[in-house]
């Protein structure tokens, strides 16, 4: 049986032996069970606390605040070097070479039915990845990282068209729109497979 070293203050041999003689085997087991329960409760509380909030990366589109879960954000780049690609849907701004990787850049305003002015001097590209795919999102400007509670998120308004609502994880009172990046990046309609004849 492991000794209860340090539980009696000094942990000296004589005191430890005296302490061990006072406790029966049943007492030791009861104490260990109680400690295990207490540790399990603390762990459960820590998990609940961590799950109550979400860190998001906020950005601006047509004067409205949008965001992604920060776990998807890889980096933010200038939009100056986006190359246009023929025969692509209107929501594709072009492609960007990022250290040898060719990344498709989406004009997110087009996806959400907002007025798009294309790439401007202030435009930024947020490079995101969900582990299996990555792409760039053209935005007007970036705000930064914020923390929101899961309880703050409300479902999309019924006035939002279904083809856009399917990309929205929730909306806060601020208002701030949280994008469901997994839903967006796994949408077959976003994949560009048109061939030039």
Which tens digits make up the pLDDT trace of 30-76?
Answer: 777 777 777 666 544 443 344 588 899 999 998 899 999 999 999 99
- Coil, helix or strand at residue 136: strand
DSSP 8-state class, residue 2: -
* Amino acid 76: pLDDT: 93
Domains of the chain, first to last = 11-187 (2.40.50.180)
Whether residue 195 is predicted with pLDDT greater than 80 in this model: the reply is no
- Coil, helix or strand at residue 100: coil
Which two three-digit tokens encode residue 123?
């435009």
Helices (H) and strands (E) in the chain, counts: 5, 10
Virtual CA dihedral for 28, 29, 35, 39, nearest 10 degrees?
150
The model's pLDDT over 119-164, given as tens digits with 9 standing for 90+, comes to 888 899 999 998 888 899 999 999 999 999 888 888 888 888 888 8
Q: For the whole model, what pTM was predicted?
A: 0.67
Phi-psi bin for 54: left (phi > 0), alpha (psi -120 to 50), beta? Answer: beta
Please state, in angstroms and rounded to a whole number, the distance separating the CA atoms of residues 135 and 37. 46
């Amino acid at each position: 049986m492991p000794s209860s070293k340090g539980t009696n203050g000094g942990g000296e041999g004589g005191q430890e032996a005296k302490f061990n003689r006072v406790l029966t085997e049943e007492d030791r087991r009861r104490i260990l069970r109680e400690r295990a329960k207490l540790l399990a409760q603390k762990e459960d509380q820590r998990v609940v606390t961590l799950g109550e909030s979400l860190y998001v990366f906020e950005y601006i589109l047509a004067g409205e605040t949008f965001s992604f879960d920060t776990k998807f954000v890889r980096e933010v780049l200038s939009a100056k070097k986006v190359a246009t690609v023929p025969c692509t849907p209107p929501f594709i701004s072009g492609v960007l070479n990022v250290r040898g990787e060719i990344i498709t850049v989406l004009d997110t305003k087009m996806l959400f039915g907002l007025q798009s002015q294309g790439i401007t001097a202030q435009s930024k590209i947020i490079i995101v990845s969900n582990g299996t795919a990555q792409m760039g999102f053209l935005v007007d400007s970036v705000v930064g990282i914020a923390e929101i509670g899961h309880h703050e998120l409300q479902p999309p308004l019924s006035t939002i068209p279904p083809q856009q609502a399917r990309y929205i994880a929730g909306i806060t009172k601020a208002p701030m729109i949280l994008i469901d990046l997994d839903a967006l990046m796994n949408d077959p309609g976003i994949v560009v497979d048109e061939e030039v004849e």
